[in-house]
Structure 1
């Protein structure tokens, strides 16, 4: 009992000392949020958007009642190297977390060894002198030794360095999960923009086709009239030039739409013929849901952004790293122990021994290292300061993105009715001018001017529709993967952890 009393007392003292952890920088920092936003950004770790539920994230896109868009988004996420890379980082972070947690508990190693040979000592030890001359053995027995045992080593976390490493690894693991969601949000937004741009291109193609057909018909009739001597040759030349210009625009528009489809095919990984069939079967008119006027956005919404969430966790990880680096400047205490069974055989002799040890209990104190540990601690503090700066910068950028998206949505909503009114009235003006031209009461110049004005107004309306769609997608991305009015927010009680 006296032999184990000292290690036992030392172990108890070390466990008491392990409660004395070194201080860390603050894990939670304030973020710059506009004063008009109705609540402060919570410093605590927030949940991932929609609890990370993939079906719930898809619901935001289903507001468009366009199944093809949802299909394309899922296809793009499956084909995206960015999402795959983020999934691999989750696996890497999970392994690092397990390793960091394992350092806090004793490790156990199994050992086994065996040897076989002869030596003079073995002959003398068994009392065998057979075949000896003058007491020197000439035939020595074979000595066989076997050993099996367990060895254990434990670094007692006196100043919390190992716990800090574990906390940093845990924060990075959760942060990697958030970055996986951020990659999904980015790919979804990029796919939606590409799809809505292709739909807008098709709508503009309809406008260009109608304009080209109208100009071609005018050129045909004018040419017939000129041949009959009722129209001046200059008017016929003008009509042919106008028709050729419209035909050129139509060819260019077709090429633009083909390029849009190729980009969408590359993004989603769907073969071009199959994608063309899907796009041709879908309606080119996409009705965006109405977005109510927002005078103040809850600041909690920013905390739902995966990048803000990951930046918060990066601050927590950097804080833990700073604590771990500081702990390296203090003494380290390790305890070792082992148990083993040894069997010895020599000739007719056999003996089995059971052994055990507790110790040594080793204390390592850094005395002189040329300033390495102090420099490592300062570097860790600098990385913490950098993570805080990055977090605050991302919050400011998020505020800017949200407000810009809301401003653009409001602007496009207010301009939509004016664009519709302009198209309606320019169409009526063109129809009237075309009738007057048919009866000889309007010149070809009047007709071409009315046609050009109508084409410009129709093109402006298509551009406005695309601008509103881009603002709508920007709001989706700025709010971290989907946003709805507070009274219609659905909470997810069972978050789904991704399995990349």
Structure 2
């Protein structure tokens, strides 16, 4: 550090070129970003004709307005407060925000308070000399003439925004998963009820065939057939009990806690046919998904970040100009450190021009370009995935109701068939095999109807999700 007794105006004139250079900084080598064309047809094959023309889009409907069952609303609220995956997604946003703030701070110099004491032999070799310093210093501040740091800041911003969109996507997926899990539990209870009633009927059939065998009215074959059918119903009942427990465990994992007792107690009386209805949703156009779906917006932000990385890689080919500066007081004696005339400063700009780096900068640029191509392919894939998911949900919407209506009519027909077969068998007109076949058919069609009703309701949940379901802040979500 050099000591100077200079007028106060001299440092100002010295730093003026530095200020001008700083103002001129900001040249950017980031390629101009243009959103890629959506690689999907311009319209869905099925446009959701069930939805009225003035219906709100899924992205404009809050989940509380779409899922109106109070029990389901409570479960979703618990999940939003307790689910660990969602909590990780929220913390990822905080981490990405901090990383962006760090990168943004790199554009500004770091000013440190400096105090030092040096003791060294005198050049004459006679004794030691002391040197005391105190003041402020800037250490190796890179002046971003070619936009390298600015490009890295843009990349960090895009990463932060992508993480925020990932959080929204995680919340929408969680809401849909809880709704689907709740509907599955309702279906499990209904299937258990069907199996329980079927088992009771078949056990009664076993008792009757044994009585008929004892009185010589029926054959031993009928008795064994009845026993076989009863055991099959008992095995199905046990299997469905196990599946019911597994589905409850899966829902508890989403909630982050066990299912509340009062909600579990209400399940045996729950029926899919009495589930709270969900409003019809318009599909819109595939291009609307680019604005509605958080996962697509996330992929686009990652593409923007990859594009910014190219700017940083290009800037690496140009000189880096850094500045180290100190200003303060210097004295050979501690007591004279702050006396008049001890003020001094030093200014040390440095320019580093890459001459030979064994192809490192070129490889960095090629890597950044490849990264952008990867991000573009992932962005286009996210659009294609969204298009398929919406198309699948619309296909289900168009056909599941017809399937349920047909199966409901089949259940009525099989029920009547069973009554007639039982009557004919008791009167000796038909064989016991006809009665067993009617029992098996009714049991299968009743189960199939429940599963179709479940699939129909879950399809409505899926349609809400894939159309970008309404997102709300979870900060106020209840914890339980």
Whether the TM-score (by the shorter chain) exceeds 0.5 is yes
Q: Per-residue displacement from partner, 1:147-205 (whole Å, max 9, x unpaired)?
A: 32111254222111111111111111111111122222333333333332222222111
Aligned partners of 2:397 and 2:456 also within 8 Å: yes
Aligned to 2:263, which of 278, 281, 293?
A: 278
After superposition, the Cα gap between the structure-2 partners of 1:27 and 1:110, relative to the gap in structure 1 and judged at 3 Å, is farther
After superposition, the Cα gap between the structure-2 partners of 1:157 and 1:340, relative to the gap in structure 1 and judged at 3 Å, is same
Aligned partners of 2:278 and 2:460 also within 8 Å: no
Q: TM-score, normalised by structure 2?
A: 0.83
Distance 1:59 1:293 in 2: 15
Alignment partner, residue 376 of structure 1: 364
Aligned partners of 1:433 and 1:442 also within 8 Å: yes
Secondary structure of 1:205's partner? helix
Secondary structure of 1:210's partner? helix
Aligned partners of 1:334 and 1:363 also within 8 Å: yes
Aligned partners of 2:31 and 2:308 also within 8 Å: yes
Aligned partners of 2:28 and 2:151 also within 8 Å: no
The residue correspondences of 1:64-83 to structure 2 (distance < 5 A) are: 65=69, 67-83=70-86
Alignment partner, residue 127 of structure 1: none
Secondary structure of 2:38's partner? coil
Secondary structure of 2:351's partner? strand
After superposition, the Cα gap between the structure-2 partners of 1:6 and 1:216, relative to the gap in structure 1 and judged at 3 Å, is same
* TM superposition shift of 1:95: 1.5
Aligned partners of 2:28 and 2:148 also within 8 Å: yes
Alignment partner, residue 107 of structure 1: 110
Q: Per-residue displacement from partner, 1:473-494 (whole Å, max 9, x unpaired)?
A: 3223322335xxxxxxxxx9xx
Name the stretch that deviates more: 318-327 or 294-303.
Answer: 294-303
The residue correspondences of 1:294-373 to structure 2 (distance < 5 A) are: 296-297=284-285, 299-345=287-333, 351-357=339-345, 359-373=347-361
Alignment partner, residue 195 of structure 2: 208
Distance 1:445 1:143 in 2: 115
Q: TM-score, normalised by structure 1?
A: 0.80
Rg (Cα) greater in structure: 1
Distance 2:99 2:208 in 1: 78
Aligned partners of 2:161 and 2:301 also within 8 Å: yes
Distance 2:337 2:287 in 1: 82
Aligned partners of 2:393 and 2:463 also within 8 Å: yes
Aligned partners of 1:177 and 1:498 also within 8 Å: no
* TM superposition shift of 1:385: 1.3
Alignment partner, residue 237 of structure 2: 250
Verify: 1:22 aligned to 2:24, yes or no: no
* TM superposition shift of 1:414: 1.8
Aligned to 1:58, which of 63, 67, 84?
A: 63
Aligned to 2:95, which of 78, 92, 95?
A: 92
Verify: 1:268 aligned to 2:255, yes or no: yes
After superposition, the Cα gap between the structure-2 partners of 1:422 and 1:284, relative to the gap in structure 1 and judged at 3 Å, is same
Aligned to 1:385, which of 337, 357, 373?
A: 373
Alignment partner, residue 3 of structure 2: none
Distance 1:450 1:174 in 2: 60
Task: Give ranges in structure 2 of 5+ residues lacking alignment.
Answer: 1-6, 46-57
Q: Per-residue displacement from partner, 1:357-416 (whole Å, max 9, x unpaired)?
A: 362333332222222112211211111111111101111111111101110222112212
Secondary structure of 1:214's partner? helix
Aligned partners of 1:344 and 1:350 also within 8 Å: no
Aligned to 2:447, which of 459, 465, 483?
A: 459
Alignment partner, residue 396 of structure 1: 384
* TM superposition shift of 1:350: 9.3
Alignment partner, residue 149 of structure 1: 135
Q: How many residue pairs get matched?
A: 454
After superposition, the Cα gap between the structure-2 partners of 1:408 and 1:498, relative to the gap in structure 1 and judged at 3 Å, is same
Aligned to 2:145, which of 158, 161, 168?
A: 158
Distance 2:115 2:336 in 1: 23
Verify: 1:171 aligned to 2:176, yes or no: no
Alignment partner, residue 415 of structure 2: 427
Aligned partners of 2:155 and 2:305 also within 8 Å: yes
* TM superposition shift of 1:346: 8.0
* TM superposition shift of 1:92: 2.0
Aligned partners of 2:38 and 2:383 also within 8 Å: yes
